[in-house]
């Protein structure tokens, strides 16, 4: 009888051990799956409000969106993005994704580029970083038309004299910038407008000064 009782006790202990092991494995598997799911969600690309606002302005300049650039997603904004993506052979998803922002020449953040944030020497030195990043420089419709007229005269552009940014216009801007010793950005920036003799608006002048102050604040 003692032998039978001992065998039953050993058997029960063995069964309990297997059950606990199975439960632990199931819990670990569920936890791992949950973690992987959380990781995949965390990798979704999200534009900043400033990028959304800049993207909306690009769409407005391209006559694909009406109204003001607010930095908020709207149904009209999503539809305009789809039209822009179709016209530029991008994935049509109605979002300011990485490829769309890059096509619009809108700078990405270090986080979006996968770069690790730089450590600051100490919190006291961070006071000079109080300058907000200014909005991207934007040429007016009239400045775009004037620039195209100049490029036509330079035999660098043969398109229509309108206020639209096209690949041909960007390419001709790049050629002009190279010829004039300006940094080749293929955008109608302040330096290019000034080289062309096209006056900046007061708002643009303020934007240029804001960028200078912001750049200086980032220097050690």
pLDDT at site 121: 47
Of residues 19 and 88, the one with the higher pLDDT is: 88
pLDDT at site 65: 93
pTM strictly above 0.75: no
Domains in the chain, CATH or no CATH each: 49-117 (1.10.101), 141-217 (no CATH)
pLDDT at site 94: 94
Task: Check: CB of residue 110 under 8 Å from CB of residue 117.
Answer: yes
Q: Mind listing the pLDDT tens digit for each residue in 119-140?
A: 554 444 444 455 688 899 999 9
pLDDT at site 127: 43
Q: Mind listing the pLDDT tens digit for each residue in 67-118?
A: 889 999 899 999 999 999 999 999 999 999 999 999 998 988 888 888 766 5
């Amino acid at each position: 009888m003692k032998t039978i009782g001992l065998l039953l006790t050993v058997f029960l202990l063995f069964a309990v051990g297997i059950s606990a092991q199975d439960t632990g494995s199931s819990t670990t598997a569920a936890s791992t799956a949950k973690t992987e799911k959380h990781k995949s969600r965390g990798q979704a690309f999200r534009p900043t409000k400033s990028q959304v606002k800049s993207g909306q302005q690009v769409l407005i300049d391209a006559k694909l969106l009406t109204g003001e650039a607010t930095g908020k997603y709207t149904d009209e904004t999503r539809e305009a993005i789809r039209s822009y993506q179709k016209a530029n052979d991008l994935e049509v998803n109605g979002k300011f994704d990485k490829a769309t922002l890059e096509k619009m020449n809108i700078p990405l953040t270090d986080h979006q580029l996968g770069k690790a944030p730089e450590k600051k020497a100490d919190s006291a030195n961070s006071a000079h970083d109080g300058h907000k990043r200014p909005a991207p420089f934007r040429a007016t419709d009239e400045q775009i038309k004037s620039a195209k007229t100049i490029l036509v005269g330079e035999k660098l552009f043969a398109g229509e004299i309108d206020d639209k940014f096209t690949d041909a216009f960007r390419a001709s801007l790049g050629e002009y910038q190279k010829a004039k010793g300006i940094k080749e950005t293929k955008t109608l920036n302040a330096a290019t407008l000034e080289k062309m003799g096209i006056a900046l608006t007061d708002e643009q002048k303020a934007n240029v000064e804001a960028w200078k102050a912001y750049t200086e604040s980032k220097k050690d």
